[in-house]
Chains A and B, each alone.
Chain A
Amino acid sequence: MEYSEVTCLLRSLCELKGTSGDEGAAAEKICEMLGRYMPSKIDTLGNVTGTRGEGFSILLDAHTDQIGLAVTAVDDDGFIKVARVGGADCRVLTAAEVIIHGKSDIYGVITSTPPHLKADSDSGKVKKFDEITVDIGMKKEEAEKVVSPGDRITFKAPFSHLAGNRIASPSVDDRAGVAAVLRCLQLLEGKKTCRIDVMFSAQEETGGSGAAAGAFNSQADEAIACDVSFAAAPGLSDDKYVALGSGTMVGYAPSLDYAMSRRLTEIAEKKEIPHTAEVMGGSTGTNGDDIQVSGRGIKTALLSIPIRNMHTAVEVVDAADIENTARLMAEYIIERSAENA
């Protein structure tokens, strides 16, 4: 298998469950993984942070949280009512398998409406969130013993190896970014660099609160946010969206530092790292936006990994794109370290 290093990293990261605001268990494991490269800890809002080296500093960011659902109530028939955490997509919930992180992990199936109960006008229509319930095979009294309002719900779906180096799994957004940062640190092992701050941030999917606080604590000279973005797929033309497997996407946007974006592109050209440009007209909708304006302000760049089916249980990514994102980050750090030594 090519890219086995990042694929293995991604697999162990995707196995972790951590929806926004409930990153706890996932954050602890990721803190341990980061600890192999630098002293690491978990901060007030649940960000995993670490730092190594001195002087000029570059902050690397990727978010630990994933989209999901939260329990709002157990209804009279023992079925679980839900609210969404982050941008969960109603269109892909019917018949999905889930885990409710209650007193213990409880298995459930999201209910679907049998044909005889469906009006013709409902056919092909998406259910509304208040119509969605989870079947855990229990009566109300039993259910209430193990499930409480606020408990988080995540997809139970496989980590599938597709053709080539492609993978389908829940929570590739943004464990792929976490994998790229960890892989970058691995590539830099034994090399003398400037100060590297790492922030695996909480609560990106609910608005970026984690990154705002974490970046304030770091106050690095420069930051690179690493997230996922949209790849071409049926319905998303390749005139507008990049192909999966075409490399790391260097972000260009008014909110991003233009010199950093240019530099990243130049290094990618020079080192022959596959890359594309992702151009946006304002801010970026990523942690980059929050990092940029934290404290006195931080020059920020964005590298994105193209994925398909964002915010579903089958987010598809090409391992080569994760590897190339890690390589470009590492090469950038090496050059900037030499210049600022």
Chain B
Amino acid sequence: MLETLKELCSLPGISGREDKVRDYIISRIEGFCDYKIDPLGNLIVFKKGKNSPKNKIMLDSHMDEVGMIVTGADSGGFLKFATVGGVDPEVIIGRTVLIGEKNIPGVLGIKPIHLIEKSEEQDLPKKDDMYIDIGAKNKEEALSLAPLGEEIHFESEFIRFGDGFIKSKAIDDRAGCAIMIDLIRSELEYDCYFSFSVQEEIGTRGAKASAYTIDPDYAIVIETTTAADISGVKGEARVCVCGEGGAVSFMDRATVYDRSLYQKALEVAKSNNIKAQTKTRVAGGNDAGAIHKSRGGVKVLTVSVPTRYLHSPCCVCKYDDIVSTRDLVREMINNLAV
């Protein structure tokens, strides 16, 4: 799974441009399942298990990542951009990005510290004042190298460091994709549907359609969620903790989860000696928000890999947690099928 995750993270795929990620996933699951691509670009997979389940189960993770998109250039040749998904200016100023098919490098510049007024020292540049420098001499050169609408993603190598940690862009939610690829390539006890969904980061748009198409009884969303287990943060404010296994949600900003499913997941983890934890803050949201309202309603569960610095070029998680999350999801399939 580690190598799969590394390859997945290296691919560009902002919302609406998930093609390369989808092509890679298909190359990995071909021969292990049936699949189709729906009109929005969701990759919908049916995997035959050893038995037919009583309940139809859908697993979901999203292929898209946050990034930016080219919206213009000024007369000096500096690109203007819009963010795609939630990206805080503070994590991109001073970073390197890659643009479009040709991976044109650019940097997010800033007025040098020597030349700013005292009053500017405490304030980050406003979104409208930010720009990307690709070295172009004027507007024409800039837009010929990076045309309007071109995709911009973070340049951020996949690195293993510290005590079993991983750093990369796009761990949100390629970690979920890697887990689903692993499950599809393995032997499952029960038939199962999978949705590799598009456009989660701009409002869970893809999963809305794939949940309609699959029409499941139960859905398990495999995600990443904020781990705020950083310097000086104590107790429940940490949300979840790296190294303590998949984080199970009881409620977030988009979904009130089925209580019995939430409790069952924690029980199943315990009885199978799989590390798992409760997500201790009502924050964020994911595809479950779209799926639970699909058709006549779907019971949903979310298990997330605890991840520090989500939506930044440097997401950080622990590989062990990806393994625990996969193991818990596998047990839950068996549990919900009957």
Known A95-B91, A112-B91, A314-B107; contact A87-B113, beta-carbon cutoff 8 A: yes
Q: What is the CB-to-nearest-CB distance from B313 to chain A, in angstroms, rounded to a whole number?
A: 6
Structural contact, A162 and B309, CB atoms closer than 8 A: no
Tally of B interface residues using CB under 8 Å: 66
Stretch at the interface among A12-20, A131-139, A183-191, A219-227: A131-139
How many A-B pairs have beta carbons closer than 8 Å: the answer is: 194
Stretch at the interface among A114-122, A262-270, A329-337: A114-122
B107, B156, B228: the one contacting A160 at CB < 8 Å is B107
Structural contact, B161 and A163, CB atoms closer than 8 A: no
Structural contact, B110 and A168, CB atoms closer than 8 A: no
Q: What is the CB-to-nearest-CB distance from A171 to chain B, in angstroms, rounded to a whole number?
A: 14
Structural contact, B237 and A117, CB atoms closer than 8 A: yes
Structural contact, B108 and A108, CB atoms closer than 8 A: no
A-chain residues with CB within 8 Å of residue B115 when the two chains form the complex = 230, 236
Taken together as a complex, chains A and B put the C-alpha atoms of A179 and B106 apart, in Å, by: 23
Q: Is A259 in contact with chain B by the CB < 8 A criterion?
A: no
Structural contact, A117 and B145, CB atoms closer than 8 A: no
Structural contact, B230 and A125, CB atoms closer than 8 A: no
Q: Which residue of B lies closest to A139 (CB)?
A: B163
Known A125-B124, A230-B112; contact A314-B94, beta-carbon cutoff 8 A: yes
Known A124-B126, A126-B122, A309-B112; contact A112-B159, beta-carbon cutoff 8 A: no
Structural contact, B231 and A91, CB atoms closer than 8 A: no
Structural contact, A163 and B112, CB atoms closer than 8 A: no
Interface string of A140-176 (1 = CB under 8 A from B): 0010000000000000011011111010100000000
Q: Is B147 in contact with chain A by the CB < 8 A criterion?
A: no
Q: Is B54 in contact with chain A by the CB < 8 A criterion?
A: no
The B95-122 residues at the A interface (CB cut-off 8 A) are 95-96, 104-115, 121-122
Q: Which residue of B lies closest to A125 (CB)?
A: B122
Structural contact, A311 and B135, CB atoms closer than 8 A: no
The B114-156 residues at the A interface (CB cut-off 8 A) are 114-115, 121-124, 126, 129, 131, 133-137, 141, 145, 155-156
Taken together as a complex, chains A and B put the C-alpha atoms of A142 and B92 apart, in Å, by: 30
Structural contact, B110 and A309, CB atoms closer than 8 A: yes
A116, A162, A312: the one contacting B110 at CB < 8 Å is A312
Q: Is A92 in contact with chain B by the CB < 8 A criterion?
A: yes
A126, A168, A245: the one contacting B107 at CB < 8 Å is A168
Main secondary structure of the interface of B (DSSP, over half): loop
Taken together as a complex, chains A and B put the C-alpha atoms of A124 and B159 apart, in Å, by: 29
Tally of A interface residues using CB under 8 Å: 58
A-chain residues with CB within 8 Å of residue B310 when the two chains form the complex = 114
Known A124-B89, A234-B131; contact A308-B109, beta-carbon cutoff 8 A: yes
Q: What is the CB-to-nearest-CB distance from A76 to chain B, in angstroms, rounded to a whole number?
A: 8
Taken together as a complex, chains A and B put the C-alpha atoms of A238 and B313 apart, in Å, by: 32
Q: Is A94 in contact with chain B by the CB < 8 A criterion?
A: yes
Structural contact, B133 and A133, CB atoms closer than 8 A: no
Taken together as a complex, chains A and B put the C-alpha atoms of A34 and B314 apart, in Å, by: 38
Known A92-B94, A314-B109; contact A133-B237, beta-carbon cutoff 8 A: no
Q: What is the CB-to-nearest-CB distance from B270 to chain A, in angstroms, rounded to a whole number?
A: 25
Structural contact, B228 and A161, CB atoms closer than 8 A: no
Q: Is B304 in contact with chain A by the CB < 8 A criterion?
A: no
Taken together as a complex, chains A and B put the C-alpha atoms of A160 and B231 apart, in Å, by: 32
Q: Is A89 in contact with chain B by the CB < 8 A criterion?
A: yes
Q: Is B40 in contact with chain A by the CB < 8 A criterion?
A: no
Q: Which residue of B lies closest to A167 (CB)?
A: B135
Interface of A with B (CB < 8 Å)? 75, 77, 79, 87, 89, 91-97, 106-109, 111-112, 114-117, 124-127, 133, 135-139, 142, 157-158, 160-164, 166, 168, 230, 232-236, 238, 245, 308-314, 316
Starting from the known contacts A116-B239, A233-B76, 10 additional A-B residue pairs (CB-CB under 8 Å) come to: A92-B94, A93-B94, A94-B91, A95-B309, A116-B281, A133-B231, A162-B134, A234-B111, A312-B94, A314-B107
**Cβ contacts A to B, 26 pairs, < 8 Å:** A75-B232, A77-B232, A87-B114, A94-B91, A95-B92, A95-B95, A107-B162, A111-B230, A115-B86, A124-B126, A126-B123, A139-B163, A161-B105, A162-B134, A163-B145, A164-B136, A168-B96, A236-B111, A238-B76, A308-B109, A309-B109, A310-B114, A312-B94, A312-B110, A312-B112, A313-B95
